[in-house]
């Protein structure tokens, strides 16, 4: 009798083990979407942790991902384009009234300030969506951001081609530890550049590497303390990398910036702008052909009077944000109208071991 009981218990444990394994496999299954099918339907039916593989085809949809661990990957030729009509979701209106995002990765219980400029500022996230990955897509022509990460933690946006996002190619806001890597972000018509290719306005953690950006007014918009941006190639922009007032501790290393964009001649062109930025490191970058009929410089360290509307200045309008403690070291600058320009009143801004020939004030290139 005892032997029979042991045999039954062993059989039951095997059955339960198989059942648990099948459940786990189902929970983390791979779903394939082919041309003519709906990607959003696959997202809605998927369990957390599932992989969704989208095959070649043009899909006229807006996508919303709110489940943890979803991996959404596009095969070569997978294109996401605006639908004929939109359904309002949490990403609607973030980049301005009436705007829509192409792929929206969003948490729950998100509270945002009303729109004033740039994008709606996230002030609170009740629950962040975790560990979402989006890769391999061509996303084009959405009115807000082609990809918008909102109230999400540890999101990876990699290997995508983002075209003709008129306001943002990629925006991450109110999130933590967003990674963007090896994306191509561009405007197809050089006469009509988008405004901002990539911007990360996170609570913490912003990392970008190996991205290729062309034909935007601003290439890299930096609004996250401690952001790390390296090995990116940004060309044909008015401001290749722009760090906002009061942003602290960013790292811009080993990037290539330039040439600047001819359409920017109506106003200033800069490779790297530190405007009221604190304790930034700008190191090992190559900055070339930043030119203009007016002001143009490879690296510009300045104060921001906060007299014009910007998200960073809304809390202290009219109070000058002073750049201080910034280090511009070991960069290579050439064929710029001006290589280095420091007109900040702040203390501790260091220019050292840069290979360049022109500066204001004079002598910054010889240190």
Q: Is 252 inside any structural domain?
A: yes
Reported as a pLDDT band with limits 50, 70 and 90, residue 53 is very high
Peptide bond before residue 259 is cis, with ω within 30 degrees of 0? yes
* Mean pLDDT within 67-92: 98
**pLDDT, tens digit, 9 for 90 and up, residues 209-258:** 999 999 999 999 999 999 999 999 999 999 999 999 999 999 999 999 99
3-state secondary structure of 38: coil
% of the chain surpassing 90 pLDDT = 84
pLDDT of 315: 80
Residues 6+ apart with CB under 8 A from 80: 39, 59, 61, 63, 74, 102, 103, 137, 138, 139, 140
User: For residue 318, what pLDDT is reported?
Assistant: 84
Residue 32 lies in a domain: no
Give the max Cα distance, the chain.
96
Q: What is the mean pLDDT of residues 78-89?
A: 98
Joined tokens for residue 222: 């930096």
**358 part of a folded domain:** yes
pLDDT number for residue 28: 66
Q: State the pLDDT at residue 241.
A: 99
285, 291, 292, 294 alpha-carbon torsion, rounded to 10°: 60
Return the pLDDT at 316.
81
**What CATH number did the domain enclosing 122 receive?**
2.160.20
Give, as one character, the DSSP assignment of residue 342.
Answer: E
Question: Which position has the higher pLDDT, 287 or 24?
Answer: 287
Task: Kindly report the length of the chain.
Answer: 367
Stretch among 15-24, 137-146, 220-229, 351-360 having the lowest mean pLDDT: 15-24
Q: Would you say residue 89 lies in a domain?
A: no
- Alpha-carbon distances of 194 from 9, 11, 97, 219, 292, rounded to whole Å: 66, 64, 17, 10, 19
25 sits in which H/E element: helix 2-27
Q: Note down the domain range covering 334.
A: 94-366
Let me know if residue 74 belongs to a domain: no
The answer to whether residue 14 sits within a structural domain is no
- Read off φ and ψ for residue 87, nearest 5 degrees: -105, 130
> For residue 350, how far is the Cα from the chain centroid?
28
**Two tokens, residue 71:** 């991996």
> At residue 121, does pLDDT exceed 50?
yes
- Residue range 140-190, pLDDT digits in tens: 999 999 999 999 999 999 999 999 999 999 999 999 999 999 999 999 998
> Looking at the whole model, is its pTM more than 0.85?
yes
Q: What is the pLDDT of residues 255-280, one digit of tens each?
A: 999 999 887 876 789 999 999 999 99
Q: How far is CA 342 from the centre of its chain?
A: 27
pLDDT reported for residue 6: 36
**Residue 73 backbone dihedrals phi, psi, to 5 degrees:** -125, 140
Return the pLDDT at 292: 86
Into how many domains does the chain fold?
1
Distance from C-alpha of 336 to C-alpha of 356, rounded to nearest angstrom = 9
Strand partners, 106: 150
Tell me if 41 is assigned to some domain.
no
**Burial class (CB within 10 angstroms; exposed 0-12, middle 13-18, buried 19+) of 321:** buried
Beta carbons of 207 and 234 less than 8 angstroms apart: no
The confidence band for 366, taking pLDDT boundaries of 50, 70 and 90, is confident
Q: Per the domain annotation, does 30 fall within a domain?
A: no
pLDDT higher than threshold 70 for residue 14? no
């Amino acid at each position: 009798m005892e032997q029979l009981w042991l045999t039954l218990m062993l059989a039951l444990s095997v059955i339960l083990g198989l059942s648990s394994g099948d459940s786990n496999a189902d929970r983390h299954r791979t779903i394939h979407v082919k041309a003519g099918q709906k990607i959003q339907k696959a997202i809605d039916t998927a369990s957390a942790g599932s992989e969704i593989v989208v095959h070649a085809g043009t899909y006229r949809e807006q996508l919303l991902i709110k489940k943890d661990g979803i991996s959404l990957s596009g095969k070569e030729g997978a294109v996401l384009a605006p639908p004929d009509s939109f359904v309002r979701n949490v990403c609607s209106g973030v980049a301005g009234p009436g705007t829509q995002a192409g792929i929206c990765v969003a948490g729950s219980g998100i509270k945002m300030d009303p729109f004033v400029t740039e994008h709606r500022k996230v002030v609170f996230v009740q629950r962040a969506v975790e560990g979402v990955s989006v890769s391999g897509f061509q996303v084009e022509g959405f009115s807000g951001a082609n990809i918008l990460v909102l109230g999400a933690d540890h999101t990876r946006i990699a290997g995508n081609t983002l075209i003709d996002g008129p306001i943002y190619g990629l925006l991450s806001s109110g999130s933590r530890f967003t990674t963007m890597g090896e994306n191509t972000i561009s405007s197809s018509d050089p006469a009509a550049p988008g405004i901002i290719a990539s911007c990360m306005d996170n609570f913490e953690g912003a990392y970008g590497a190996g991205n290729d950006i062309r034909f935007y007014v601003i290439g890299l918009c930096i609004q996250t303390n401690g952001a790390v941006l390296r090995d990116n190639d940004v060309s044909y922009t008015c401001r290749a990398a722009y760090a906002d007032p009061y942003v602290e501790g960013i790292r811009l290393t080993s990037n290539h910036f330039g040439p600047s964009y001819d359409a920017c001649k109506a106003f200033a062109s800069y490779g790297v702008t530190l405007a009221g930025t604190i304790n930034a490191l700008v190191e090992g970058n190559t900055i070339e052909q930043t030119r203009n009929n007016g002001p143009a410089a490879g690296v510009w360290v300045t104060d921001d009077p906060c007299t014009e509307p910007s998200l960073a200045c809304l809390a202290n309008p009219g109070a000058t944000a002073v750049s201080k403690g910034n280090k511009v070291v070991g960069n290579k600058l050439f064929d710029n109208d001006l290589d280095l320009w420091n007109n900040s009143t702040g203390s501790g801004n260091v220019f050292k071991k840069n290979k360049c020939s022109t500066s204001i004030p004079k002598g910054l290139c010889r240190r």
